Amino acid sequence: MNEFGRAEAIDRVAEIVSTVASEPMPVPVREVWVYGDVALGLDPVERLDVYLTKDILMRDAPERAEAFEAELGVQGVGKTVRADWADEYPEHVRANSNGHAAPEQCLAAQLLDDDEPVHLEVCNASFEDNVRQRLKGAQARENYEQILDPRGVCLWVDDDSGGQRSDEAFRKLREGELVFPTLSGALEMLGMEADEASEAADVVEAYRERQDGATVRGDVV
C-alpha cells in the first residue's frame, strides 16, 4: 500500500481512535491527533500522520518483570508497559535496541499494520508543546528532518467517562473544512524566519517522501 484515498485515510484514523478508546493500551493514552496531509484535505493521502499523547508508566507491576523477561525475552514489562496488557497482547510486546520494553513500539504493533503508509508519533507532551520543543531542537542542531508538522487536529481526548471522540473534528476532516497555511507559513507563525522556514519545509517534505510502510517515533519531553 503506497497511499490512502482520503475517505479511506479518515476511516483508518477512526479505527485507530476506536481501538485506543475501547482496548487496553500498553501505556495510558490521553490524546489522539492527526496532522499533515490528512488534516490539509489532500486526496490521496500519501502518508497518514498520527500523534498520541501518552502518560509515562513509572510503576505498574515491577515484581512481574523477571517472569516476563524469561517468557518474552524483553526487560521492563510491568515497569514501562502494563503487565496486564502484556498478558493479553504478548504478540505486540516490542523492545528497543537495549532489550527494554518500548511503549511507542508496542503501541505501533497494536495499532498499525507493517505495510501501511502510516507514521505514529508518541510523546508524553501534548501535540502543541511537542511541536515547539521539536522546532527548538531542530533549529539548535540544524536538523530540520525532525520538525513536527504543526498543522494538526485533535480527534480524541481521555476523560473521566472513558474518552471523548470529537465528531465535529471528524466531520471537518471528511468535508475538508479545515484551513491551514503552507508548512513554511506555519513554521513562520511559530517564529522561524522566512528563508529558514522555506528550507526547513523542503527538508521535512523530502524526509517524508523517503519513508516507507509503517513507522514510529517516540519522544520524552
List, for residues 168-214, the tens digit of each pLDDT value.
999 999 999 999 999 999 999 999 999 999 999 999 999 999 999 99
**pLDDT(7) > 80:** yes
Task: Measure the CA–CA gap between 89 and 60, rounded to whole angstroms.
Answer: 16
**pLDDT(59) > 80:** no
Task: Measure the CA–CA gap between 158 and 53, rounded to whole angstroms.
Answer: 10
Task: Measure the CA–CA gap between 48 and 151, rounded to whole angstroms.
Answer: 13
Segment 110-134 shows an average pLDDT of: 96
Instruction: Give residues with Cβ within 8 angstroms of 150, minimum separation 6.
Output: 35, 128, 131, 135, 186, 187, 189, 190
pTM of the model: 0.95
User: What is the pLDDT, as a whole number, of residue 1?
Assistant: 66
Short-list 125, 102, 160, 133, CA closest to 54: 125
C-alpha separations of 26 from 103, 124, 157, 195 in Å = 6, 14, 17, 42
Q: Which of 45-54, 59-68, 131-140 has the lowest average pLDDT?
A: 59-68
Strands in 29-35's sheet, in edge-to-edge order, are 164-165, 152-157, 29-35, 48-54, 118-123, 215-219
3-state helix, strand, coil in the chain (%, to 5): 45, 20, 35
Q: All 3 cell numbers of residue 130?
A: 511537542
> Which helix H or strand E contains 86, and what residues bound it?
helix 83-88
